[in-house]
Amino acid sequence: MNKLAKIATAFSLASLVSCSGGDSLVDVEVTSAMLQVVPGTATSCVAQKTAEDADTVPTSDIAMAYFKIPKMKFNPAHSTTRDVFITSIEISYTLPGSTERVVCPFAGDSLAALRDDWWNSSGREAKIAANSTDAQRTTTCAMYCGGINKDLPAFSATAEVRVYGYEQNPSNENDQTGFLTLTYVTFGKNQ
């Protein structure tokens, strides 16, 4: 099955799974500590990896100001029998006093850049193989979400993190089940 069809299948199935009220196929662990807003720019993982591949110096591509999720760990319910493919991650938030929803998407290369083995894999797939270790289920590069007005007074906000993907039988690529996992992070500025 081609990559686009797999992604479409995952999104379709994720919608069904998320409405079913069943247990999550993949739990996601992120820090429970408040993430601090950094009043500067940053360089994303994909910009770093692309520059490394081209043997050039990476440039900042995360708008001022930003927060970052240092690591994300994926805990598949069927970790010994099924492969898990993450197709996209979406971080979204609304700042206090605003009605505008900000979305920071991670898909394709920006998703693959979160782990060296994903970046270096054929097709740059975000795959967690059956029987993987804790370290193999954890991102190794931070997820940055920028565009926050650095002049805002102290605040605290909650960002929704949506992880889309599917699990698959390693010996039968047609045996797939999509999932959507929701989790939340708190971020803010003390002064």
Q: What is the pLDDT of residues 62-115, one digit of tens each?
A: 988 999 999 999 999 988 899 999 999 999 999 998 999 999 999 999 999 999
Provide φ and ψ at 140, rounded to 5°. -115, -5
In the prediction, which pLDDT does 50 show? Answer: 97
**Could you tell me the domains of the chain?**
3-189 (2.60.40)
What token pair was written down for 56? 């050039």
Question: Is residue 111 a contact partner of residue 119, using CB atoms and an 8 Å limit?
Answer: no
Share of the chain above pLDDT 90, in %: 80
Classify each residue of 162-178 as buried b or exposed e, where b means 16 or more C-beta atoms within 10 Å of its C-beta. Answer: bbbbbbbeeeeeeebbb
Sequence-ordered strand ranges (E) for 17-82:
26-29, 35-36, 66-69, 73-76
Reading the block at residue 29, the tokens are: 């662990």
Pairing of β 66-69 and β 73-76: unpaired
User: How far from each other are the two terminal CA atoms of the chain, in whole angstroms?
Assistant: 51
Mean pLDDT of the chain: 88
pLDDT of residue 64: 86
With a cut of 70, say whether residue 44 has pLDDT above it. Answer: yes
Distance CA 118, CA 20 (A): 30
pLDDT score for 12 = 39
| Cα within 13 Å of Cα(60), Cβ side | 11
Helix (H, G, I), strand (E, B) or coil at 183: strand
DSSP string of 9-27, one letter each residue:
HHHHHHHHHHHHT---SEE
pLDDT in tens, 107-155: 999 999 999 999 999 999 999 999 999 999 999 999 999 989 888 999 9
